[in-house]
Amino acid sequence: MLAVKRDKTDGLQAQTELEGAVFDVAIVGGGLVGCVAALCFDKFGADDFKTLVLERGDLLNEDRGFGRNRGRAYALSESSRVLLDMLGLWEAMAPFAQPIVEIDITDSALDSPLRPVFLNFHGEIGMGKPGAYIIEHEHLAGPIYRALGAGDYITVCERSGVQGFEAGPAHVDITVGAARCQAGLLIGADGRGSFVREQAGIQTQSSDYDQDGIVVSVALSRPHEGKAVQHFLPAGPFAILPLVGDDAHENRASLVWSEKRGLAGDMCALSDEAFEQEVNKRFAPKLGTVKVAGPRAHFPLSLMVAHSFIGPRVALIGDAAHGVHPLAGQGMNIGLRDVAALVEIVVETKRLGLDFGAQIALERYQQWRRFDGVMSAFAMDGLNRLFSNDQPLLRELRGFGLRLVDRVPPLKDFFVKEAAGVNGDVPLLMQGKWLG
């Protein structure tokens, strides 16, 4: 592996080493989705499949960006777990991944003394297998970044952004600082503000929710027993996600809390005691009271969907293609489905001796992934708008609909399997099957 690390020249040496280099795939963005894509190409691509990862910030340093993400947790679907297991990563993650045993859906006003459960899901998808797991950022990211640093044919270039690119008939020319390199395909994994998407001329549809998301880890006074709670409040959803215990607290949870824009910053600035009072107003009484057990962070919430997931020798994955509301915790899973589908198409096309960066191959990716990505984004958008209000008539209709679903077990099973990512046209790597 050629690993181009940070140095005192802030990437100048790394950029010089890229001059004239030729890669099969170049990935812009060193977030978790982009790095998993690089690992998939390295493991499942043909021999000597060369991948370049370009990241504007630090990537392979000791902290690996954990500081800004502490307190953040992800809901990993069963299909995402299978993909990570295929990469040999799950064994290191499993001790820190809390299976979701049960999910309660509640809907009430902030000052309501009761939190009636309108809908309850068992978290298993059959044979005792959980449909989802909750894992904190550092335990998910650590094994991914360690594997990235050991990849056989992965070149990692930190502190190096892309200045521009130009697609040709056989490759795409990429400018990184003063250096130019080539790749058969350029992948934008650079988030909602994607430079790749913008430079490819791909427009987006977006909508601001006037909400901020607050994330924080808390200690619980009672055992969570693997139960997750999605409590809908007029200001936005309040999710309680169970975590594996640590040395300090046996029972822990991650809160993902949507609040009106402007209030979230004020909430995060409160003292621990005042913040805990606000949390306990919104918390599920069955889980007892909470104590803050980690740093707080808040971030703006919005909807973003790219009009196209592809351009000439360009493919978008993850948040560069679709940004969804976190109420169902599906953002990471949708991005990993992008990865598994794109890798399957690229590897299959290359093994046939065809051009995997050609429009016909990219159209296959778009046809496969855009419907799921767009529908998921708008489904989360619709649910958030439906539940983030306190209109009495809508509240009655919501309660009626939730109770109706609760009485139809096959429909509940369908929703659980849908969230687990095991329904529909699932990529081979997410079925635990090798490519080729």
Contact 358, 185 (CB under 8 A): no
At 289 the pLDDT is: 86
Burial of 16 (0-12, 13-18, 19+ CB in 10 A): middle
Length of the chain: 436
Q: Span 82-102, mean pLDDT?
A: 97
In whole angstroms, what is the distance from residue 150 CA to residue 343 CA?
A: 19
Per the CB < 8 A criterion, the answer to whether 96 and 141 are in contact is no
Mean pLDDT of 377-391: 75
Assign residue 49 a region: left if phi > 0, alpha if psi is -120 to 50, beta otherwise? beta
Distance, CA of 75 to CA of 332 (rounded, Å)? 8
pLDDT beyond 80 at 129: yes
Strands 22-28 and 117-122: unpaired
CA dihedral 420, 422, 426, 430 (to 10 degrees): 70
Strand, coil or helix: what is 431?
helix
Sign of the torsion formed by the C-alpha atoms of 213, 216, 219 and 224: positive
Grade residue 122 by pLDDT with cuts at 50, 70 and 90. confident
Give phi and psi for 204, each to the nearest 5.
-130, 160
Measured CA to CA in angstroms, residue 361 lies from 135, 184, 314, 420 at distances of 34, 12, 11, 27
- pLDDT at site 381: 78
* pLDDT over 90 (residue 260): no
Average pLDDT over residues 368-382: 85
Among 116, 114, 113, 96, residue whose Cα is nearest residue 105: 116
pLDDT, mean of residues 245-274: 91
pLDDT of residue 62 exceeding 50 = no
Query: Is the distance from CB of 214 to CB of 267 less than 8 angstroms?
Result: yes
What is the average per-residue pLDDT within 258-268?
Answer: 89
Query: Phi, psi (5° rounding) for residue 240?
Result: -115, 110
Alpha-carbon dihedral angle through residues 46, 317, 95, 227, given to the nearest 10 degrees: -140
DSSP letters, 315-360, are EE-GGGTEE--GGGS-HHHHHHHHHHHHHHHHHHHHHTTS-TTSHH
Contact 147, 38 (CB under 8 A): no
Strands 204-220 and 252-260: antiparallel
| Range picked from 58-72, 124-138, 187-201 for highest mean pLDDT | 187-201
Q: What is the dihedral of CA 120, 123, 128, 134, to 10 degrees?
A: -150
Task: Give one DSSP letter per residue of 267-295, joined into a string.
Answer: HHTS-HHHHHHHHHHHS-GGG--EEE-S-
**Amino acid 36: pLDDT:** 98
pLDDT at position 430 over 60: yes
Domains along the chain? 3-66+139-206+303-387+425-431 (3.50.50.60), 67-136+209-301 (3.30.9.10)
At 15 the pLDDT is 63
Does the structure show a pLDDT above 90 at 150?
no
Nearest to 15, CA basis, from 225, 178, 196: 178
Q: Which of 52, 36, 54 is nearest to 44 (CA)?
A: 36
Contacts (Cβ under 8 Å, ≥6 apart) of 272: 291, 292
pTM of the model: 0.92
Q: Residue 397: its pLDDT value, please?
A: 72
Q: 3-class DSSP state for residue 395?
A: helix
Contact yes or no for 317/37 (Cβ under 8 A): yes
**pLDDT tens track for 311-342:** 999 999 999 999 988 877 789 999 999 999 99
CA distance 395 to 385: 12
Would you state the pLDDT for residue 6? 36
Q: What pLDDT does residue 60 have?
A: 59
